[in-house]
């Protein structure tokens, strides 16, 4: 690894891209990163290259719409998702209570939600004025790198996610540097970054009918994610 150059790295990534879907090397959320590390022969997600410098490796799953979940975080104050669920829940086609809603920065959605950037917080505006927000600082460690550059690799997935049956097909790789927080804030305001609220109830088992928070995700298209950085270069 010490002697790997950008050309060598690119060649390795090209070979990985030509592989068929690869079963995860670890059956949880970090499986995608572990699998890519093993394929590249990297022991840790940070490594140094003589012609590039220090690099942090990040591997991300893409869904069918090429959307990227950059963070999953419940809003503050603690427990407010339960409050939102009690006030805005509805019954789905299976007659189960749920709250599935996507909030944007440009308009209110059909549940009366909208996100707005105020005083370094992302505020979830709602008709009942329930206080719910995310400090923008939670994204810094997700988006920023402690290294000079980020090697970001996207993968399509097959099989149930985060289990031993999940498979990856690594399709694109970019070398990124210089995160621009101003661009990130602009993405919130112009709805390129959206918030997916996914709350429901357990459908079976001992907890059937009980509250179940599936996680609130911040999602952006892979193309718009790249534009959050001042510099990027596609390797494959």
The stretch 187-202 carries a mean pLDDT of 91
Q: Is the pLDDT of residue 191 over 70?
A: yes
Q: Which segments of the chain does DSSP mark as H helices, in order?
A: 6-18, 31-40, 80-88, 140-143, 181-189, 222-226
Q: What is the pLDDT, as a whole number, of residue 151?
A: 87
Q: What is the pLDDT, as a whole number, of residue 235?
A: 93
Structure token pair of residue 165: 């049956």
The pLDDT tens digits of the residues spanning 90-143 come to 999 889 999 999 999 999 999 999 999 998 999 999 999 999 999 988 777 666
pLDDT band at 53 (very low <50, low <70, confident <90, very high): low
The stretch 174-199 carries a mean pLDDT of 88
Q: Decide: pTM greater than 0.75.
A: no
CA distances from 185 to 76, 154, 182, 188, 228 (A): 19, 23, 5, 5, 9
Q: Is the pLDDT of residue 231 over 60?
A: yes
Any idea which architecture 6-234 has in CATH?
2-Layer Sandwich (3.30)
Q: Is the pLDDT of residue 62 over 60?
A: yes
Q: What is the pLDDT, as a whole number, of residue 51?
A: 53
Q: What is the pLDDT, as a whole number, of residue 199?
A: 92
């Amino acid at each position: 690894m010490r002697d790997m150059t950008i050309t060598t790295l690119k060649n390795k990534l090209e070979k990985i891209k030509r592989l068929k879907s690869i079963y995860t090397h670890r059956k949880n959320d970090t499986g995608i990163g572990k699998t890519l590390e093993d394929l590249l022969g990297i022991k840790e997600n940070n490594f140094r290259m003589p012609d590039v410098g220090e690099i942090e490796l990040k591997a991300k799953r893409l869904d069918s719409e090429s959307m990227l979940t950059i963070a999953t975080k419940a809003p503050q104050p603690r427990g407010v998702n339960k409050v939102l669920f009690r006030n805005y829940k509805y019954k789905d086609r299976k007659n189960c209570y749920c709250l599935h809603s996507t909030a944007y920065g440009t308009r209110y959605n059909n549940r009366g939600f909208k996100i707005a950037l105020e005083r370094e917080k992302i505020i979830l505006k709602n008709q009942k004025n329930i206080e719910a927000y995310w400090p923008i600082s939670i994204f810094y460690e997700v988006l920023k790198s402690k290294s000079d550059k980020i090697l970001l690799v996207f993968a399509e997935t097959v099989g149930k996610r985060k289990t031993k049956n999940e498979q990856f097909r690594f399709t694109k790789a970019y070398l990124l540097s210089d995160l621009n927080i101003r661009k990130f804030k602009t993405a919130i305001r112009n709805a390129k970054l959206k918030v997916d609220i996914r709350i429901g109830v357990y459908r079976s088992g001992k907890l059937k009918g009980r509250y179940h928070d599936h996680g609130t995700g911040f999602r952006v298209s892979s193309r718009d994610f790249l534009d959050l950085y001042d510099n990027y270069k596609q390797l494959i």
